[in-house]
């Protein structure tokens, strides 16, 4: 009768325990998001540019006029009529994630951008698109040629941009905010003050120094924000609503010979939920 070593007994015992141990449980889930949800606000421009006018004389007295020209949202869109813009659409992608023995098959929608030629219309409006919950793209500016077809939008970020001026003092600060929080439901309503800048270049921002119509204005801005809830579902937290900017700056009208000084207001409407 042979002698079994202690090591052999230990290895045999371990093998038996491993064989008896249950296999790791693997679960599978599915996540499907076929819409890209966003918040849309109409942006309205009410600006005036004062330029140098012609000199008139009666032979004795010379007079230099400074005519003023209104710059509206429609005037901005007419300035980029026939230019290339990006049509907004959507596509679907599929991927798999694995976490803690759980496999998740994901189908997700994302925005697509297709170059097209912009043809202005009297009904066209400028809008700002802000992502809602579940989306990660940055806000951008679009034109909607026909408000009765709100999903037909075109990015004009190459011509018109909006940003908030910041102050790098004790930390990075850009907005002063006040408001109230419903601690029972986690809902917030806020009001903010900031200095907002708006830049427009009719030949896109690759044209610098600009050779067409151009302006750079900024000024004191107030904006309201609150959570967006639809059918009991929170679509977004602290979503920007109506805003008003009292601005001034410089620019040029129809080329380098049209230097001028601008002033006026730029407003954003309350907004609505849209999706692709």
Ordered DSSP codes for 199-250? EEETT-TTS-S--SSEEEEEEEEEEEEEEEEETTEEEEEEEEEEEEEEEEEE
Residue pair 251/258 in contact by the 8 Å Cβ criterion: no
- pTM reported for the whole predicted model: 0.82
pLDDT, residue 160, reads 98
Report the DSSP pairing between strands 37-51 and 187-201. Answer: unpaired
The length of the chain, given as a count of residues: 276
pLDDT, residue 9, reads 46
pLDDT, residue 3, reads 47
pLDDT tens digits for range 160-190 = 999 998 877 656 678 888 877 665 656 678 8
Residue matched to tokens 């659409």: 89
Confidence of residue 156 (pLDDT cuts 50, 70, 90): very high
pLDDT, residue 19, reads 53
């Amino acid at each position: 009768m042979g002698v079994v070593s202690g090591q052999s007994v230990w290895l045999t015992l371990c093998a038996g325990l491993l064989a008896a141990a249950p296999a790791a449980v693997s679960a599978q889930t599915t996540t499907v998001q076929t819409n890209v949800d966003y918040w849309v606000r109409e942006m309205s421009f009410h600006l005036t540019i004062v330029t140098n006018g012609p000199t008139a004389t009666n032979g004795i007295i010379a007079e230099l006029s400074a005519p003023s020209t209104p710059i509206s949202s429609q005037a901005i869109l007419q300035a980029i009529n026939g230019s290339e813009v990006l049509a907004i659409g959507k596509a679907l992608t599929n991927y798999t994630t694995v976490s803690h023995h759980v496999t998740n098959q994901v189908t997700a929608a994302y925005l697509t951008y297709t170059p097209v030629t912009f043809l202005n219309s009297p009904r066209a409006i400028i809008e700002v698109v802000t992502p809602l919950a579940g989306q990660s793209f940055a806000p951008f500016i679009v034109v909607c040629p026909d408000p009765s077809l709100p999903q037909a939008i075109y990015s004009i970020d190459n011509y018109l941009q909006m940003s908030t001026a910041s102050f790098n003092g004790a930390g990075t600060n850009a907005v002063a905010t006040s408001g109230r929080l419903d601690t029972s439901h986690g809902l917030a309503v806020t009001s903010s003050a900031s200095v907002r800048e708006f830049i427009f270049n009719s030949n896109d921002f690759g044209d610098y120094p600009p050779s067409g119509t151009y302006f750079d204005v900024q000024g004191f801005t107030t904006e309201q924000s609150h959570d967006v809830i639809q059918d009991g579902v929170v679509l977004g937290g602290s979503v920007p609503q109506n805003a008003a900017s009292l601005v001034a700056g410089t620019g040029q009208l129809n080329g380098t010979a049209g230097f001028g000084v601008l002033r006026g207001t730029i407003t954003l409407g309350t907004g609505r939920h849209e999706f692709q």
